[in-house]
Every structure is written in C-alpha cells, then in structure tokens.
Amino acid sequence: MFSKALSYGLLSLTLAGYAAAMPMQGNNLAKAATCGTALTTVTMTATVTAGAAGATISTNNAAKSSGSKSSGSKSSGSKSSSSKASAATLKTSGSKSSGSKSSSKGSSSSAASGSKSTSGGNNAAAAANNLQTALTLDKSVLATGFQNDGQSQPAAGQVASKTSSNNFINFCATVPQLPITNGQQVKTGSCNPAPMGIIASTANMPSSKFQFPTNFGTIKANTAFTVKMAIKNLETGNFVNANENYFSAPQFTNAQGQITGHSHIVIEQLDSLTQTTPTDPTKFAFFKGLNDKATNGVLSADVTAGLPAGFYKISSINSAANHQPVLVAVAQHGSLDDVVYFTVTDDGKAAAGNTAAAGNTATAGKGNTAAAAGATSGLGNFGSCGTPQIKFAAGLDGRKETAFAPANTAFNHGSADNIQVITGFICGQLPSQCKADATAQATCQKAQAAALAATPAASGAQADAFNKVFGITTNFAAVKAVA
C-alpha cells in the first residue's frame, strides 16, 4: 500500500493530466462544472494541487461558489436562480488562473459579457426607477420658493403663505387628527399627500359652454332631455376609479399639453331664478360624470327621468383624471367651467313672470333688454338697470326673519324688514345710476305706492304688489312671515 502522502500525489498527477487533455473553450468550461464526480474530486484535491492546470482550479472554485449541481449549469442563458453567481465565479477564476489559451479566451469572453450585463442592464434599470420608489426627496425637485412666505411684497389684506424647506413632503404629519385620503372619498375630511402635478399652460386652459339647456330657457317637467356641453383644451374620456383612486395621483397632460381628464355636470334646484343665497352643495337634483370622449368637441348626458317643475342651475365640473379640479398656470383667468339657469314647467312653456324674475322680461331670451321691453309696454325705459323687482324671503343676508331685497342684482342693496327702504332705494337709483327715462321713474313711484298700500304689512303681499305694476307676477304672499 502507498503512503497517504504518495496517494494524494498520484491522485493530483492524474487530475492534472486529465485537465490538460481537455482544452476548454467558451461554454465547455461551464459544462465541465456540471459533472458531479468531477466537482467532488476537485474539492478533495484543491489544496494539494496548487500548481495544477488552471481549468481544474477554476472548476473547483465554481463548485464551491455554487454549492449545487443545478446552480452551475448552463451559465450562458441559464434560468437557474444561482446561475449568475456561479457564472461570475467561473469568469473571475478562469481569467486569473487559466493555464491554456483556449480556456483564457473563453473566460475573458464570459467576463466581458457579464460586465456589460451588470453595468448596462441592472444599473440602467435602477437609475430609471430609483426616484419614483425612493422615500427621500431628490434635490432636483426641491422648490426653494416654498420657503418664501410672500410678505416681502405686502399688499392690503394679504396673509403670509405657509412655508416649507422640503416641499411639504410630510405636511400631513402636522394634522394627525385627520386620516390620509389614500384614494378614498372621506366625507369627514382628510389630508392628501399627493402633489398637484403638471400645471396646464395658459394656452391649454380648459373651457366649457352649455349648448342645452340654454340660459333662461324652459323645458317640460318630468320629460327626458339631453344635456349638451361644448368643451375645449381637455383630453376627455380619462377617469380613474373614484372609490379607490380619488385625488391619489397628480394632474398630468398629454403630448399637446392638454390636461388629461374628464368632466361632470350637476343640476341644483333653486327657490327662484333670482335667488341670491348660496346653495347647499350636499343637495342636488341630478349629477353625472361625463366619462366618454367628446364627440366633435361636445359632451352629452341623458337626464332620463327629467326634472320636476321649478327653477334650476346647471354647472360643469371639469376635472383631471383623478377627479381633482383642473389646475392652470395663472391666477387671473376666465372661468374654466360654465353655469346656466333654466326653468322647468308643466307644459314646457315659459311662464309670464319667470324670466322677468331674473331682472329680464320674457323677451329678454330673444336678445332684447328688459328696459326695451318696458318701453314698448308703456312702463318706460329703465336704462342700464333693467326692470325692478323685489323678493321676500327668510335667510336673506343671514337673517332668521323674513325680509325684502331687490331681486334684480343691478340694484345693489342689502335686505330690509321694511319694504319702503327697498322701494325708495330702487326708485332713487333710476335717474342717477340707471339713466331711466321719466316714464320709468313715474312707473316706479306707482309701484312704490302699491307696495305701501298692500296688506298685511311686512308680508310677501307687498312685494307682489310692487312687482305687479311692472307686469311681473309673483306669489311671495305664500311665504310665511317670520318676525
């Protein structure tokens, strides 16, 4: 029997000869690493055969690195989870210790390929996605102007802006009592951390205009009709899930700079066309999102059940894709939405006093002014102010009691519990401010006397009497007086 040292020596010589007899090129090096027996043998002799052929050491290192047969298989294009690690070890050890030209060539080629893959692939992907997954603020988006409270150029009544040195990224932490909006419609209020996003240029500010119903038009009660609204500078037809993505992403634009979004319409019922008290946003007669793309620049919505008789206003709500109001580049701009007022009657015909209640006569819808209409009816020409009218209601100017006030907003006066205050103001404005003629002034004096003579005092009957002189029929007598 040979001594233990001699046995190791003979075994080493055998392996060295085996390695020299098998030149390896390209993928052959990886294939050699797939042999289970060779892996075990090399592991046993690695420390003994320090001067053995480079291919033997290279294979041994690959085996140690991978730790399994499958991980070292097909290092070029293998789907194994550890194949990249094994291939990388093979490339490094082969290039350093290769004892033959063929193995050196194969190792160098593999190493070069691996280097390109790492730097050109993984690094590029990481660079592209890092900023959108990072939990820190990148300096490239820091808005230093946010540190200015704006008071360096003071103006009367101007208040200081909130300031931030980190783009308000943790603003919602200042209101811990509120939940994060998180894409939900939180009726009790919330705090939304999403940025505003891309602000539309002045050349791309959206605008809309109702084509139907028409302003001060009349439609038939409880009868289906189709709302039509022209719109421009909004890439319509883009809306997200309102229950899961509400306000959850910034506003963005298309390639032409137009806001990507959609619109809505809302119809609210009024007490009259001359109502001056604000409406309640929690109450509406009809609401619909206009989620389709506009056809020839027009959006439409079917009100299939129609509306009951009454007075209404219809408004547009132009929005970005995540339902937030559209944002534009400047503070001073025309309205981005539209509003019109209309009447619904049982027969679809305009009532005699309905359009007049808005400070116009029924002919005003045809392009004539109320003043001209008054002149032709013998009431006189009321100049720039239009036909006078008085309303009677509770809640005017925040009052709890009922009061009188001009219904025609051209006569700018607050409410009063004594109708003579209002009639005196209106008639006094006709010659000086309205430039009304003498006939109109005389008509107003008659109306003033009629209101004073009506009973009971401090009731809607006085307003009705005043309006009747101008050919306007109202029924404020039905309003219960509240002292």
CA dihedral 105, 108, 109, 111 (to 10 degrees): 160
Do the domain assignments include residue 61? yes
Residue 207 and residue 115 in one domain:
no
Question: What does pTM read for this prediction?
Answer: 0.52
In a domain, 351, yes or no: no
Q: What is the pLDDT of residue 350?
A: 81
Contact 466, 477 (CB under 8 A): no
Q: Is residue 140 part of a domain?
A: no
Give the pLDDT band (50/70/90) at residue 122. low
- Whether 146 is covered by a domain: the verdict is no
**Judgement on whether residues 341 and 433 belong to the same structural domain of the protein:** no
Residue 141 lies in a domain: no
- Residue 340 sits in the same domain as residue 426: no
**Does 357 fall in a domain?**
no
- Is 341 found in the same domain as 207? yes
Is position 78 within any domain? yes
Tokens standing for residue 253: 């634009």
Q: Do 221 and 337 belong to one domain?
A: yes
Q: Is residue 34 part of a domain?
A: yes
Rounded Cα–Cα distance for residues 350 and 346 (Å):
10
Q: Are residues 327 and 373 in the same domain?
A: no
- 103 — pLDDT class (breaks 50, 70, 90): very low
- Nearest one of 91, 128, 96 to 112, comparing CA atoms: 91
- Judged against a pLDDT cut of 60, whether residue 278 lies above it is answered with yes
Q: What is the mean pLDDT of residues 358-375?
A: 38
**Overall domain count for the chain:** 3
- pLDDT at residue 365 tops 90: no
* Per-residue pLDDT tens digits for 227-273: 999 999 999 999 999 999 999 999 999 999 999 999 999 999 999 99
Tell me, yes or no, whether 333 and 382 share the same domain. Answer: no
Torsion angle of the four alpha carbons 231, 237, 238, 239, in this order, in degrees rounded to the nearest 10: 100
Which of 183, 197, 319, 318 has its CA nearest to residue 252? 197
User: Do residue 322 and residue 444 come from a single domain?
Assistant: no
Q: Between these two residues, 150 and 274, which has the higher pLDDT value? A: 150
Same domain, 315 and 425: no
Domain that holds residue 251: 203-345
Q: Are 301 and 240 within one domain?
A: yes
Pairing of strands 339-345, 310-316: antiparallel
Number of H helices, E strands in the chain: 11, 12
Determine phi and psi for 391, rounding to 5 degrees: -115, 160
Predicted confidence at residue 21, as pLDDT, reads 44
Residues 105 and 19 in one domain: yes
